[in-house]
Amino acid sequence: MRKCDVLVIGGGPGGLAAACAARKAGAEKVIVLERDKKAGGILNQCIHDGFGLIRYKQALTGPEYADRAIHEALEVGAEILVSRHVSSIRDNGPDGFTVSVYTKDGIEEYRTKSIVLATGCRERTRGNISIPGSRPAGVYTAGVAQNLVNVRNVMIGKRVVILGSGDIGLIMARRLTLEGAKVLAIAEIMAQPTGLARNIEQCVYEFGIPLYVRTTVSKIIGHRKLEAVELSDLDDKGNPIPETARLIECDALVLSVGLIPENEVAQTAGVHIMPNNTVDTDRYLQTSVKGVFSCGNSRHVMDLADYVSEQGEMAGRNAAHLIRGEEMETWDEEKTNCMKKGFPDEGTITCTICPNGCQVKWDEKTDIFTGNKCLRGRKFAVQERTAPMRTITTTVKSAGGRELLPVRSEGAVGRDYVRQIVNSLKDVTAGSDLHIGDEVCRIAYGDGKECGIKLTAE
């Protein structure tokens, strides 16, 4: 049996930040248990950029953000153990907790004084939303589709329909399009998309993907494989209107219909779970069980990894403060996503250089820009109006392996060249001795231009 002061369950952004903060707050022994073969959580398959705008003051890809968080935890002395699946937590009262863990070599046990739950969330499936019809192959949640396309080099289909307008669904609409699929429709039951306005602009509008609100998939059609879906408009009560039903032939349906906090392990410790599967905590992020803290998406689903990390830090510090008999800190519930969601405001440019997501409007007659909170927003709007630029994030094949490696362009390129560059990279194989930040290749595009392509994860 191993002993520690603070045990963190989950090695995503919240758990890594919690471990780092607990060590800095004085906890002598801090261990992170991660069930996957690599720490970083869902970030490892989120190859797009936009992470870290708050925490690191720059736009990072998911793997880049994860790499920083891992190194920060290791540098202060936290221990990260992977391929550990926690099965139960036993409350020993004044003696702390015993945590049982499955590994490939058998069962391990850990004795700890305090616990931080950072177990993240899972996706709602077809079963959760009860779509009528048959049960063919070809129906995926957005996260599964993302993993297959971005990591495992498996294309899910050529003609795709997406149900739900969450951010991962929107981002996958762009990703699938760049990989050669035709995204036929995005259907959203609400009157407004639920994803960020920046993703509506750059993932949907820029690629001409149809987005239908107050619409749902009313039937799935197919025997062994998906053949089509039926789309229907919804009435004021959210019920399908029969006369609006229309068929769309497709071979893949992607569900981006919400997230559920993962708290099955928390329940084994007697933690009080709310009806929506979130964790009931006090202002110190402590659960109903003294000594057990919760943070990030397992506590309550959050929009930005930056805020997950910030909340994880406080949970980790408070876990250390508690066992040291020190005063704990309080979490400000007002800290939440501040970027605009839904449709961009008409006639505006959605600024993407910081989390404010300003809706910038240009008056052609006076050449005056309004809506931007800083001069960078004005500069971005001018650039978007005259010569829009995009940072390319995609994947290349790995030498000797079936899995893909995420890469990004070393700088922004003209928006009109994105497809050309992505298509060129499909024939590129990364060398076997590359590290994060190393250049994989240089791609020529346009009229004599070229850009460097760099690795964002090993």
**CA atoms within 13 A of residue 453's CA, in its CB half-sphere:** 25
pLDDT at 87 over 90: yes
- DSSP tally for the chain: helices H, then strands E: 10, 29
Q: What is the pLDDT at residue 354?
A: 79
Parent domain of 208: 125-257
The reply to whether 212 falls in a domain is: yes
Looking at residues 205-231, what average pLDDT do you find?
97
CA distances from 168 to 74, 162, 178, 186, 197 (A): 29, 11, 15, 12, 13
Question: According to the model, what pLDDT value does residue 218 have?
Answer: 97
Strands (E) across 104-255 are located at 106-117, 121-123, 139-141, 159-163, 182-188, 211-213, 215-222, 226-233, 246-249, 252-255
pLDDT value of residue 359:
93
Of the two residues 403 and 419, the one the predictor is more confident about is 419
Residue at 105 is within a domain: yes
- Looking at 237, 257, 277, the residue that finishes a domain is 257
> What is the residue type of 135?
R
Instruction: List, for residues 25-58, the tens digit of each pLDDT value.
Output: 999 999 999 999 999 999 999 999 999 999 999 9
Question: Rounded to an integer, what distance in angstroms lies between the CA atom of residue 184 and that of residue 158?
Answer: 10
Are 253 and 131 found together in one domain?
A: yes
- pLDDT for position 303: 84
Domain boundary among 357, 386, 415: 386
Q: Is the pTM of this model over 0.85?
A: yes
Task: Give the percent of the chain with pLDDT over 90.
Answer: 87
Same domain, 58 and 92: yes
Whether residue 162 sits in one domain with residue 139 = yes
133 lies in the same domain as 118: no
Q: Is 338's pLDDT higher than 80? A: no
Residue 273 belongs to a domain: yes
| Statement to judge: residues 364 and 301 lie in one domain | no
- Reported as a single tens digit per residue, the pLDDT across 363-382 is 888 988 999 989 889 999 99
% of the chain residues with pLDDT over 70: 99
Name the residue among 150, 138, 202 with its Cα closest to residue 176: 150
Do 143 and 233 share a domain, yes or no? Answer: yes
Same domain, 142 and 163: yes
Q: What is the mean pLDDT of the chain?
A: 95
pLDDT in tens, 100-109: 999 999 999 9
State residue 400's pLDDT score: 75
Identify whether 137 is part of a domain. yes
Q: Are residues 253 and 134 in the same domain?
A: yes
| Judgement on whether residues 275 and 238 belong to the same structural domain of the protein | no
- Per-position DSSP letters for 272-321, written without gaps between them: -B-TTS-B---TTSB-SSTTEEE-GGGTS--S-HHHHHHHHHHHHHHHHH
Q: Are residues 113 and 195 in the same domain?
A: no
Burial label for 435, CB within 10 Å (0-12, 13-18, 19+), is: exposed
Nearest Cα neighbor of 42 from 276, 408, 274, 298 is 298
- Answer whether residue 333 shows pLDDT above 90: no
When pLDDT is cut at 50, 70 and 90, the band that residue 356 belongs to is: confident
Q: What's the first-to-final CA gap in the chain, in angstroms?
A: 33
Write down the pLDDT at residue 93.
92
Which of helix, strand or coil describes residue 96? Answer: coil
- Tell me which of 226, 257, 288 is where a domain ends: 257
- 335 within a domain of the structure (yes/no): no
Indicate the length of the chain as a whole number.
458
* pLDDT value of position 353: 83
- What CATH number has the domain bearing residue 25? 3.50.50.60
> Is 342 domain-assigned?
no
Q: What is the pLDDT of residue 112?
A: 98
Tell me, what's the pLDDT at 100? 98
Single out the residue of 31, 265, 387 nearest to residue 273, CA to CA.
265
pLDDT class of 122 with cuts at 50, 70, 90 = very high
Query: Number of folded domains in the chain?
Result: 4
164 and 95 belong to one structural domain = no
- Judged against a pLDDT cut of 70, whether residue 335 lies above it is answered with no
Do 213 and 318 fall within a single domain?
Answer: no
Alpha-carbon distances of 203 from 209, 282, 391, rounded to whole Å: 8, 38, 13
User: Taking 70 as the threshold, does the pLDDT of residue 170 lie above it?
Assistant: yes
Q: How confident is the model at residue 458 (pLDDT cuts 50, 70, 90)?
A: confident
Whether 336 is in a domain gets the answer no
* Residue predicted with more confidence, 82 or 336: 82
Six-digit token pair at 383?
């650039």
Asked if residue 144 belongs to a domain, the reply is: yes
For residue 39, give the nearest of 72, 4, 1 by alpha carbon: 72
**Distances in whole angstroms, Cα of residue 265 to Cα of each of 189, 232, 272, 289, 358:** 32, 39, 12, 13, 40
Contact 199, 171 (CB under 8 A): yes
